[in-house]
Structure 1
Amino acid sequence: METNILTGLIARQSARYGERAALSAPDNNGKWHDISWHNLSADVDTASAAMAVLGIREADNIATFSANRPENIVTDYACFNNRAVSVSIYATSSLEQLAYILNDASCPLLFVGNTTQYHIARRAMALCPSLKRIVVIKPIKLDEDDDTSMLWTDFMNLGRQASDEIKATVKSRTASATPDDIATLVYTSGTTGEPKGAVLTHSNYDAAMEAHLQRIDMVSDKDVSMAFLPLSHIFEKGWTYFCLVKGIKVAVNRDPQDIQSTIQQVRPTCMCAVPRFWEKVYTAVQEKIASMSPVMRMLVGMALKVGRRRNIEYARVGRKAPWWLETRYKFFDSKVFSLLRHAIGIDHGNIFPTAGAPVSPKIVEFFHSCGINIVVGYGLSETTATVACFPRVGWEIGSVGTPIPFVEVKIGEENEVLVKSPMVMRGYYNKPEETAKAFTPDGWFRTGDAGYIDDHGALFLTDRLKDLFKTSNGKYIAPQAIETLLGSDKYIDQIAVIGDRRKFVSALIVPDYTALKDFAAKERISYHSMDELVRNPRVRQLLTDRIEEIQKGLASYEKIKRFTILPKPFSMENGELTNTLKVKRHAVNRIYAKEIDAMYDC
């Protein structure tokens, strides 16, 4: 019988690596500790048995509602051992979002991470007839009237005390697993409409793992990866599975807000990130350079020119640099770039996959010039993550790379990117009509993204088709491209471009409040609230000047003519952002209708 890559993976790797570290994670005091392959395998076996004790059957959907924890990985692979399905739910989900997914997937068992998620889950239980049991990973005090929940330690004790019959049942399920089994339901973040569960089978993951083994051939089991993005997102989930397949140690970062300190402690060689992470690093580096002495600024400028020539003009296209350029690059690498990488926490950086939103070419070029291998890619939940990414050589700046092995890409009507691949989902769970809409009559998956393929086979994205709008003057606008351009400015943290059926393009801008406060202090601007500060004429003039400078290369009709500075950020809690931090345009247009109308009334 054909063996699934993920089913039984941890046991196979345990036999190979034994006491070598598979994972690392912080304890409650923030001290990092390793988890060996042997111990991880034992935990997966124990959790597998515990699920069977609780009556979990083959094909049951088991949900996890938690921030990143090693236990999330344990429950995933325990599901696979039982031929059950893993359903990951974002830790920041609301009661309504949680209840919707639990009901849609009819989940009988839910794992939650902490006290906050536990209390939301208890409220959800009253709304979800299928939910029978909650397991809380963090050791907390359960409600006194709660007779349906248990702590992780008690759950694991069930597995340790399981009968030989239960253990035999799990072993039989593992042995009978097939590639057609559903592995995960990955719910889309829902920028429009309700979330949809992408049905990803083991055969989808088998193909994805093999494709990445072929394309991402620069990593080895000597690498260390930081799981920074949510494991509930297909990008981090797929990458972490790939790391486990390769034997790469995975450091599980629990709180995204702690990444600056944890990256310094762990010093990973690999890490998935969204462009916003690198935008913030870029801004911090530029501020540091600006504060240097003239001599040091000149040295850094020379280093960047040499780095760009060596890494962009030669290494990028597979050409060997002349000896004199290589010699100068080695000098600047040791005197400048190595210090930069050390300051970030990636002294021994290997590969840094980056996706989830458009990446500014300026940022890609800058970090590659510094010897930081940002590998831009593109994918969706529905395609088991990667569709395309930078190859080792020959990648094009501004593109999302070339299709990875086993993936076909073509451009359809309205320049839509279409995909055909063994990694494409089976369909949306319980949604036959939505599934039918997602495919062309001849079986190509509709990504909803507009783009083109250049003469080198590189894929370039222009925007989300649903985001494209037309001004009242009949001009088409691609808001994501404008937002990416302006988002690299140090004073702009978030931006939503407006203009559908309007006379001109406008924007709602969430400033970087820290940078804005620094500006106010430098300019001796007094204020009593953030609302007062963002309305200050000098602050407005600052942003006006910077926006005008950044927009110089845009067509007149694309330029932002008016903008409103917001005193508080867009948030998931207010429904303005998805769990992957994408702007929900319909929600923003509704919530800020008054502010938007004001920009067009004057």
Structure 2
Amino acid sequence: MSNSQLSVLIQRQAEKYGDRVALKYRDYDTETWVPVSWKQFAETVTTTSNALLELGVGVQENIGVFSQNKPECLYVDFGAFGIRAVTIPFYATSSEAQVLYMLGDADIHYLFVGEQLQYDVAFRVMSLGTQLKQIIIFDKDVKRDKRDTSSIYFDEFLKLGKARQHQAEVDKRIAESGNGDIANILYTSGTTGDSKGVMLHHSCYEGAIKAHNERFPQLGDQEVVMNFLPFTHVFERAWSYWCISMGCQLAINLRPVDIQKTIKEIRPTAMCSVPRFWEKVYSGVQEKINETTGLKKKLMLDALKVGREHNIEYVCKGLTPPALLHMKYKFYEKTIYSLLKKTIGIENGRFFPTAGAAIPPAVQEFILSVGINMVAGYGLTESTATVSCENDFDHVVGSVGRIMPHVEVKIGENNEILLRGVGITHGYYKKEAATKAAFTEDGWFHTGDAGYIKDGHLFLTERIKDLFKTSNGKYIAPQAIEAKLVVDRYIDQISIIADERKFVSALIIPEYKLVKEYAEKKGIKYASMEELLQDQQIIDLFKERIDTLQQQFAHYEQIKRFTLLPHPFSMERGELTNTLKIKRNVLNKNYAAEIEKMYEE
């Protein structure tokens, strides 16, 4: 096939599936899910291609999409692929400075925006003198600025292509499209320094889609997939393209905070997510067990013990569980596990790929024990997502699965994971020096992650760039300590401090609700959260919990002092990236006084 697969994918699926439902999105006014058939999807994509040509969009021209998850994001993506244009997604939470930088770096003339927040940011940036010619607004409830004379709404944009007056040119460009075209440029959120635009060609997606089909033949067009992570994130984006290529039905979750509600409305069979989602499930269950007493508590604990033994000691190792154990497991499956899954909204769930950060082993064991098929994986923006992943119940707790068929992995110096293969980026947009530095002389990509391979499974040990060296010359891997502690139900977020310091300390965001409940139980009086978190009883509570969790670490890796902070880390203050990773250099600056205090003699 000479033309690129993504440029004709929706039309081909429409020929095959016609009036079947391709997408669903939630109408917040009526609180119902609105279906979109494959036929409608293909119609809108073709109209979008024509409308983009009406605006004069050229071959391999960059278009920006600044929105939370909406069907329109996919219409613009596939409409652009139909005319060989490139889409550049921005995180819905991007700041003015980030938007200004990306618009300039990628020379974007047309920007699609989602809701009021994105429109306001885009309009302010437009007046700062960019190449931006026009903003196109998805949500018709957005109120335009009085001074705005050029923006149009998405339905007005579609009218520009309704007559299909450019269809001959669309067909010509599809015929000329190929794997060598760039599909997307994804700007990494950058925990350090300026963000870089990762170029992903059509060949990257085609290689990844083919490899996933080989690895997961058991997934097909019967799946109902919840889109919960932002489409801007390579994981959700590549996964969605793959799901569309398999004819799955996508349920598009607009607001990440609504997931607890929307997942119960859809009850999906599959969803990709980050470990944080499962950490919250885990701490919710721990919470429940702690509140329960007597026989009910005994049963819950026994269910976890039986599940762990059945699934982790036997099933995941490819062994047949003993008959009595299997019988007990089946009993709990009908009672406790099924109730838990129903409560979350995933009783139909078959497949839950999870990546993007280290999965705390306690969380992974728990999720597998109750029979939820959470599939751990590892990947980067630069590798079009998946480098390695597990398969159905082929799990080794702590590993990120087996290498995918389209990727080669080599362990380089400092145990760095090096990659080569069809899914790997050709480089960073307009950044030759950064591109050159990212590859070895013989073409292997530097991931910056350290790890090892054992029995065909890949294990990650630490992020090389993130290793801290204490002033005593000892190396500390902060993520390992953070992953161990963040499973505690009293800890919401944690950041380890150790670089060039005598010992390890930590900034901790507590679960405020639980701290207040504890204070009430102990009769602690306080006027504010600041005051409560300085109370010795609260500090002792955290000290005891931290000491229990960090026993397995060497003495020099253990947290000696910590500060409980009264406000969560925030994106507004620049402390978190768009994917909610901690920016350590910003925390060091913002909390300099608190950090220095921990190191006073």
Would you call these one fold, judging by a TM-score over 0.5? yes
Q: Is this contact kept in 2: 1:53–1:162, CA < 8 A?
A: no
Q: Any unmatched runs of 5+ in structure 2? A: none
Paired position in structure 1 for 2:41: 40
Match in the other structure for 1:145: 147
Distance 1:394 1:40 in 2: 36
Q: Could you report, residue by residue, the CA deviation over 1:391-421 in whole angstroms, capped at 9, with x for unpaired residues?
A: 3354321011111111111111111111111
> Which has the larger displacement, 135-144 or 424-433?
135-144
Q: Deviations over 1:99-118 (max 9, x none)?
A: 10111111111000011111
2:528, 2:260 → 1: CA distance?
28
- What residue number does 2:83 align with? 82
Flag structure 1 segments of 5+ consecutive residues without an equivalent.
none
Query: Match of 2:422?
Result: 422
Alignment check: 8 A CA contact 1:85 1:182 kept: yes
Q: Encode CA deviations 1:173-205: one digit per residue, 9 max, x unaligned.
A: 122210000000011111111000100000000
Query: Aligned partners of 2:63 and 2:221: how far apart in 1?
Result: 30
Matches within 5 A, 1:315-326: 315-326=315-326
Contact 1:228/1:252 (<8 A) preserved: yes
Matches of 1:82 and 1:528, distance apart in 2 = 61
CA distance, structure 1, for counterparts of residue 224 and residue 528 of structure 2: 43
Moved more, 365-374 or 144-153: 144-153
Distance of 2:320 and 2:223 partners within structure 1? 26
Q: Which residue of structure 1 aligns with residue 586 of structure 2?
A: 587
The CA distance in 2 between the partners of 1:357 and 1:212, in whole Å, is 21
- Give the distance between the partners of 1:372 and 1:83, measured in 2 at CA: 40
1:552 aligned to 2:554?
no
Pairing 1:111-150 to 2, within 5 Å after superposition: 111-139=112-140, 140-150=142-152
Contact 2:420 2:443 in 1 (8 A): yes
State how 1:447-596 maps to structure 2 within 5 Å: 447-454=447-454, 456-596=455-595
Name the amino acid aligned to 1:556: H
**Equivalent residue of 1:135, what SS?**
strand
Matched, 1:105 2:106: yes
Partner Cα separation in structure 1 for residue 2 and residue 323 of structure 2: 51
Contact 2:451–2:462 (8 Å) recurs in 1: yes
- 1:7 aligned counterpart, secondary structure: helix
Identical amino acids, percent of aligned pairs: 50
2:465 is paired with a residue whose SS is: coil
Match of 2:228 in 1: 228
- Give 3-state SS (helix, strand or coil) of 1:552's partner: coil
SS in 1 for 2:599: helix
Structure 2 residue aligned with 1:68: 69
Structure 1: which amino acid aligns with 2:84? Answer: R
For each residue in 1:30-78, what CA deviation from the matched residue of structure 2 results, as whole angstroms up to 9, or x when unmatched?
3212111111111111111111111111101011001111100111101
CA distance, structure 2, for counterparts of residue 573 and residue 416 of structure 1: 33
- 2:103–2:130 Cα contact (<8 Å) kept: no
Deviation at 1:536, TM superposition (A): 1.8
Relative to structure 1, the CA distance from residue 86 to residue 544 in structure 2 (aligned partners, 3 Å threshold; closer, same or farther) is same
For 2:550, give the aligned amino acid. Answer: Q
Kindly indicate whether the alpha-carbon contact (under 8 Å) linking 1:180 and 1:202 is maintained by their aligned counterparts in 2: yes
**How many pairs does the alignment contain?**
599
1:162 positional shift: 4.3
Query: 2:159 is matched with which residue?
Result: 157
Query: Which shifted more, 284-293 or 245-254?
Result: 284-293
Contact 1:103–1:128, Cα closer than 8 Å, also in 2: no
Q: Is the 8 A contact 2:307 2:371 kept in 1?
A: yes
Counterparts of 1:3 and 1:325 in 2: how far apart (Å)? Answer: 54
**How far, CA to CA, are the matches of 1:261 and 1:128 in structure 2?**
41
Cα distance in structure 1, aligned partners of 2:148 and 2:167: 29
Contact conserved, 1:278 with 1:363, CA < 8 A, in 2?
A: yes
Q: Could you give the per-residue CA deviations for residues 445-488 of structure 1, whole angstroms, max 9, x where no partner exists?
A: 0001111112x021111111111011011110000000000000
- Please identify, of 355-364 and 512-521, the stretch whose mean Cα deviation from structure 2 is larger: 512-521
Matched AA of 2:395 = W
1:373 aligns with 2:382: no
Task: Flag the 1:422–1:254 CA change in 2: closer, same or farther, 3 A.
Answer: same
Alpha-carbon distance in 1 for matches of 2:374, 2:129: 43
Amino acid at match of 1:460: F
Alignment of structure 1 residues 291-330 onto 2, 5 Å: 291-330=291-330
In structure 2, distance between residues paired with 1:528 and 1:87? 48
> Which residue identity lines up with residue 585 of structure 2 in the other structure?
H
Counterparts of 2:365 and 2:103, CA distance in 1: 43
CA distance in 1, matches of 2:275, 2:170: 42
Say if 2:191 is the partner of 1:191.
yes
Cα distance in 2, alignment partners of residues 106 and 145 from structure 1: 24
Which residue number corresponds to residue 206 of structure 1? 206
Tell me, in whole angstroms, the C-alpha distance in 2 between the residues paired with 1:408 and 1:88.
Answer: 28
Q: Secondary structure at the match of 2:185?
A: strand
Give the letter aligned to residue 305 of structure 2: K
Residues 352 and 375, structure 2, Cα contact 8 Å, conserved in 1: yes
**Structure 1 residue 529, shift from structure 2 partner:** 2.0
Alignment of 1:411 with 2:411, yes or no, is yes
What letter corresponds to residue 463 of structure 1 in structure 2?
E
User: Could you tell me which residue of structure 1 aligns to residue 93 of structure 2?
Assistant: 92
SS where residue 363 of structure 1 aligns? helix
SS of the aligned residue for 1:428 comes to coil
1:340 — aligned with what?
A: 340
Deviation at 1:336, TM superposition (A): 1.0
Root mean square deviation of aligned Cα: 1.2
Instruction: Output one character per residue of 1:140-174: Cα deviation in whole Å (capped at 9) or x when no partner.
Output: 232232122101111111111342xx121112112
Following superposition, the deviation at residue 2 of structure 1 comes to: 2.0
Deviation at 1:324, TM superposition (A): 3.0
Cα distance in 2 for partners of 1:527, 1:14 equals 62
**Mapped contact 2:67–2:114 kept (Cα < 8 A):** yes
Deviates more, 1:315-324 or 1:167-176: 315-324
The alignment's TM-score, normalised by the length of structure 1, stands at 0.98
CA deviations over 1:482-536 (Å, ceiling 9, x no partner): 0000000011111110011110000000111122222222222232222222222
Amino acid at match of 2:561: R
Cα separation, 2, equivalents of 1:267 and 1:142: 36
SS at match of 1:88: strand
Post-superposition offset of 1:321:
2.6
- Give a deviation string over 1:228-259, Cα, whole Å, max 9, x none: 01110001101111110111111111111111
> Which position in structure 1 is the counterpart of 2:268?
268
For residues 377 and 457 of structure 1, the distance between their equivalents in structure 2, rounded to whole angstroms, comes to: 14
Matches within 5 A, 1:224-263: 224-263=224-263
CA contact (8 A) 1:25 1:32 kept: yes
Which region of structure 1 is more displaced relative to structure 2, 199-208 or 125-134? 125-134
Which moved further from structure 2: 134-143 or 481-490? 134-143
Cα distance in 1 between the residues matched to 2:144 and 2:394 = 56
Mapped to 1, the partners of 2:53 and 2:370 lie a distance apart of: 51
2:448 and 2:465 in contact (8 A); partners too: yes
Does the CA-based 8 Å contact 2:3-2:174 persist in structure 1?
no
